[in-house]
Each structure stands twice: as structure tokens, then as C-alpha cells.
Amino acid sequence: MPPSPPLPRIAADLRDPGDLDAREAIVDDEGHRLTHAGLHAAASAAAEGLSAARKGLVLVRARRRVETVVGLLAAWRAGHAVMLVDAGLDPALHDALVTRYRPEWIWQDGRAERSGDAPGDPVHAELALLLSTSGSTGSPRQCRLSAGAVVANARAIATALRLSPSSRAAGVLPLSYAYGLSVLTSHLLVGGSVVLTDQSPVQRPFWDLLARECCTSLSGVPATWQALRRFDLARLAPPSLLDLTQAGGRLAPALVRHHAAWVGARGGRFWVMYGQTEATARIAVLPPERLPDDADAVGFAIPGGALVVVGPDGADAAPGVEGEVCYRGPNVMLGSAETRADLAHGDALHGLLRTGDRGRLDADGLLRLTGRSSRVGKVFGLRLDLDEVEALVQEHGPTAVLGGEDEVILCCAWGDDDAHLAAARALAVRLRVHRSALRFVAVDPLPLTARGKVDYAALARRVGGEG
């Protein structure tokens, strides 16, 4: 058997195995249910099929199903690292990840299958989880997260959101997405439960499920709360639903106030959060008591973490002065990876994350974001590497990509309207986003710098968006 991971009970359902009971832990909308004791037993049994002489990598094709949670915990119990990949990822992109990272096993449909004959390069003892920051593009770049980071993140979220054994979340977000995974881990940690579902929050069956299962919380990205603004949620939501959480991008302060008002009227709470995959999930949480006055803020550092804003000179900025947001905490990743060989590396960041976001801190530590300084776009809560999207479209001709407000702007020095429409349809399918998030614009020629590179600043001034 492989050596025990740094936190051997990370696989024990993120709880003390001596405190298991008959309360439900996981439910999915295919009718599968497991108690905490049942989940513990299922993970233990599945781990036997993952026995190996040394630590390896298990690629888990993640669905919002009980079987995915069993596979994740089984791999950890067996002492391996896990790469979580959305089961709906384009097959070609999935195969490219398998070729690049050479996992020893692939977990899908409730069972593990060996992947390849020769063992891959060594996996570092602290490595527990690989998560992509832009999962739908099949990006080879993965965040290397330790067992300690996973547990620290779950504990911090459980504390900040005041979770308890009676907390029962609607698991509507993908488990391969750091936000969705954090909902799972934080609830399991405190002995709560998660109802996994593929149902859409904009359809009545979803709300029927929440009522039937007595869900107490719902988590959503900005697009979720934007869409739900059209609904009378005060009437539609079951009485049990008292906690709403938002992350995955900036939500307009007016929408924050709107949703906080209706849930507050029933004695509930609206939680604004800020995070990055590089920090396992959460970095800051805004206490509901700060609403509606601070609806433009993203909160205070989570328990165990610290925020600082750094100016151009590298020194800490004074309160109220804008700079780059940096975070220090035990949930910061070890570093990034792009190949299997990178999995042998240790801690490169030592708990310090430069987020690439710009913001300012109040004197009391409240963070307000003012923009992004990295080439990352967010659409419908999904982070997309703009350079990777650009590479996908450049096969058609010269293309430069900008990030807009919940959209990606593709500036093309090729094709006509019909060609752009066809490309938008194909790209939407590949990225698994709605086509409305992709705006194709004819720009010929593309503006260039003196070094012959695309001048993104000039392009943004011309068509709008952020470079």
C-alpha cells in the first residue's frame, strides 16, 4: 500500500471516522442516497481497488452524482492524488489531459479502470488534488493543492458560513469547479449534507427538488442570480431555504441588495464571497450583517487567512489605496502543473498568492475589488484563460481575445458575419458556454505594438472590454 497522506483522514469523509452516524451525507437526483456511515464504507470498499505500491494519480470524471463523491474519497483513502475533470469535457481535450498527466486510474461510472501499463513519474507526498482554473477549455495548467489546503479551506468556509450538521446544500455547481467542490467538502466536514442535481434553477423541477429534500442553502455564480432576478423567489423557494451564497465573479451591488432583501425578510442570509482555484476556493467572505451598506465589497479574509494590497513599489498599500490583491493562508496551492513531471514538485508559493486582481482594503480589512490585471475572463461564473481561447480560434485566422463584462470578445482579422457565427457556435459547444457569452467583432488589421505583438490596450479602447 502507498504511504499515508499528510492528513490521513482527508478521505474519511472529511470527518472524524469515530463520529459517523446514520444521517444522510449525499443525495443525487437519480435517487441515490448515502449516509455518512454509508459514504465512509463505500469509499473504503472502493479504495481496495486502487491499491498500489506507491502513490499515483486518479483522474475522476466528475458528475453531480453520488458515485463521483465515492470515487474522490476512495482515491484519497488509498493515498493517491486526484485530478477532477468534468465528465462533459470534449473527448479530445480529455484524451489530451490523459496523455499529458498519465493517470494510473480513471474513475467513471462508479468504478476505476487502469490507465496505461507503465507507472508515471512520482507524485509528491503532499499533493492531494489537481483542479483546472478553466475546466471547459481542457487547459493543461492545473493547480496543485495539498491535503492541508483542502481541509483548511473546508474548515474556513464552514466557520465563516456558520455551517452545522443540519446544513443541507443544493449541489448545483460542478464538482470539478472549486466553488462546487467547496460546497461539498465544507458540508461533509461538519456532518451536513449535499443534494447533487443537474436540474436548472430557472426551472420549476429544481425548486420542487429543494422543497422535497428540505435544502437549507443554494450557491450560485453571478449569472445564476442575474437569471433568478426575474423570479418571485420569496414565493418559489421552500421555507427551509435560508442561506444563499454567491461567488465566481462580481455581482452587481443592486442584485446583491435585491436577493439579500427577500431572503432577509424570511430570516435568511445572503453571503457574498471571493475566491480563486489557486486558493482551493475561498479567500474572503462578506458577513450578511454588512448588507446592504457594503454591497459593493467582497468581504474579509476567511478564518486563518490574511489579505494585503500591494502597490507598484511592492510595499503594502495604505487603506483605501488601490493595488494588487495578495492573500496568505494555508489553503494556497503548492504551485501549478502542466505535465505529469510537475506533480513531483513541492511547495513553490509557501502560502502566498498574488491573485492578479486589483482592489483596495478599508481600514478594518474589508476588501473591494476594482478590476483584473491578469488575462483571465469570467463568463457565467466560469473562468476562461483568454490566451487559450485565443489559440482555439486562431486556427481560422488572426484573432485577439478580450474579456468583457460576463462575455468574451473575439476580435478577428478574418471572415465575414456568417463565418463568425459558425465559429461562435462551434466554440460555444467546445467551451460549454452559451453562445451569447461570445462576441465576435471584425477588426482588420489588429493593432500591434512596436514589438509586433497585439496591442490589447489599444484594442480594448477600440471595441470595449478588458485586455
Residue-wise pLDDT tens digits, 194-211: 999 999 998 999 999 999
CA atoms within a 13 Å half-sphere pointing along the CA-CB vector of 118:
5
Instruction: Say whether pLDDT at 361 is over 60.
Output: yes
Q: Three-state SS for 87?
A: coil
pLDDT of residue 127: 97
Q: How confident is the model at residue 392 (pLDDT cuts 50, 70, 90)?
A: confident
Closest CA to 143 of 134, 152, 153, 151: 134
Mean pLDDT of 285-298: 97
- Which residue spans of the chain are classified as CATH 3.40.50.12780? 8-371
Closest CA to 195 of 311, 38, 32: 32
Mean pLDDT of 256-268: 96
How far is 365 from 308, CA to CA, in rounded Å? 9
21 touches 36 (CB < 8 A): yes
Q: How confident is the model at residue 452 (pLDDT cuts 50, 70, 90)?
A: low
User: Is the pTM for the entire model greater than 0.85?
Assistant: no
Instruction: Quickly count: other Cβ atoms within 10 Å of residue 23's Cβ.
Output: 14
pLDDT of residue 391: 78
pLDDT of residue 8: 43
Q: Could you give the dihedral angle defined by the CA atoms of residues 77, 78, 80 and 84, in that order, rounded to the nearest 10 degrees? A: -60
pLDDT of residue 175: 95
- The overall average pLDDT reported for the chain is 89
pLDDT of residue 464: 76
CA atoms within a 13 Å half-sphere pointing along the CA-CB vector of 272:
32
pLDDT of residue 22: 84
pLDDT of residue 366: 98
Instruction: Say whether pLDDT at 91 is over 70.
Output: yes
Q: Which residue has cell 479602447?
A: 461
Closest CA to 2 of 47, 70, 51, 71: 51
Q: Could you give the dihedral angle defined by the CA atoms of residues 62, 64, 68 and 72, in that order, rounded to the nearest 10 degrees? A: 80
Mean pLDDT of 8-31: 72
- Which residue spans of the chain are classified as CATH 3.30.300.30? 376-463
CA atoms within a 13 Å half-sphere pointing along the CA-CB vector of 82:
33
Cell numbers at residue 416, please?
Answer: 465575414
State the fold for domain 376-463: GMP Synthetase; Chain A, domain 3 (3.30.300)
Q: How confident is the model at residue 14 (pLDDT cuts 50, 70, 90)?
A: low
Instruction: Say whether pLDDT at 17 is over 70.
Output: no
Higher pLDDT, 252 or 303: 303
Q: What is the DSSP string of 379-390?
A: ETTEEEEHHHHH
- The sign of the torsion formed by the CA atoms of 189, 224, 248, 369 equals negative
How far is 229 from 244, CA to CA, in rounded Å? 13
pLDDT of residue 135: 57
How far is 385 from 136, CA to CA, in rounded Å? 10
Q: Which residue has cell 481600514?
A: 363
Higher pLDDT, 266 or 134: 266
Task: Flag the least confident range among 74-88, 269-283, 348-362, 399-413.
Answer: 399-413
State the fold for domain 8-371: Rossmann fold (3.40.50)
Chain length of the chain? 467
Instruction: Say whether pLDDT at 300 is over 80.
Output: yes
